[in-house]
Amino acid sequence: MPTVYYLGYRSLFVTLTAWAAIVLAAVACSVGVIQQAALASWAPGLDAAVQAEPVSAAGGWLLESLPWVVGAGLMASVALLVSAVGLLMRLEWARRAFIVLLGVAMVAQLASVWLQHRFLQSLVDAAEVPAVLPGGAVTAAALLTGAGALLACGGLGWVIVRLMSPKVRREFVA
């Protein structure tokens, strides 16, 4: 069987994945900067509001860690933008970094399901009127969030598998 060299071969999958990630990461970076500015302007009032109106332990932890979560999201957006540009240039380190970032995104997606459930549950527990959000609505929200997270993780996993395939790996420069 003759040896086939893929000199100059550029798969449409990698190009479209890189451009989609560049656009989404650029938007996420812009939103992250706006979130940082909003958080900086809310910080004094947020502390006063938490002191005036006690929240549950989970809600308090979420409010305390909000600056770290927003900062981590901004850093991940910048890392995704850099690795997506490298992916478009077919650099091997960028392909590996992109795969790692997709794995981190899958873990973050699953963790966000738990965080959303805890936050919603703390709102229900803190409500004056227990009938504001009936148990069925909370369960339906948890199921829909979980199904959406599993669907997103499946799509990200598919992209990881495609980026790790031998056909795609051949077009990257070490």
Angle at 16 between CA 11 and CA 18, to 5 degrees: 100
DSSP letter for 53, please: S
- CA 25, chain centre distance (Å): 10
Q: What tens-digit pLDDT sequence spans the chain (174 residues)? A: 565 455 567 889 999 999 999 999 999 999 999 999 988 888 776 666 666 666 666 666 777 778 888 899 999 999 999 999 999 999 999 999 999 999 999 999 999 888 887 777 777 666 665 555 566 777 788 889 999 999 999 999 999 999 999 989 888 876
Can you give the pLDDT at residue 129? 55
DSSP letter for 10, please: -
Which residues sit opposite 91 in a β-bridge?
A: 173
Task: Specify the residue for token string 């004094």.
Answer: 44
Going 15 to 32 to 107 to 113, the CA torsion angle's sign is negative
Q: Give start and end residues of each alpha helix (H) in the chain.
A: 12-52, 57-64, 66-88, 92-126, 135-163, 166-169
Can you give the pLDDT at residue 15? 95
Task: List, for residues 77-125, the tens digit of each pLDDT value.
Answer: 999 999 999 999 999 999 999 999 999 999 999 998 888 877 777 776 6
Residue 91 phi/psi, 5-degree rounding, is -95, 135
DSSP letter for 127, please: -
Can you give the pLDDT at residue 126? 67
Can you give the pLDDT at residue 135? 62
How far are the Cα atoms of 10, 39, 132 from residue 135, in angstroms, in the given order?
A: 52, 32, 10
Residue 127 phi/psi, 5-degree rounding, is -70, 140
Which residues sit opposite 173 in a β-bridge?
A: 91
- Which residue in 93, 113, 115 sits closest to 153, CA to CA? 113
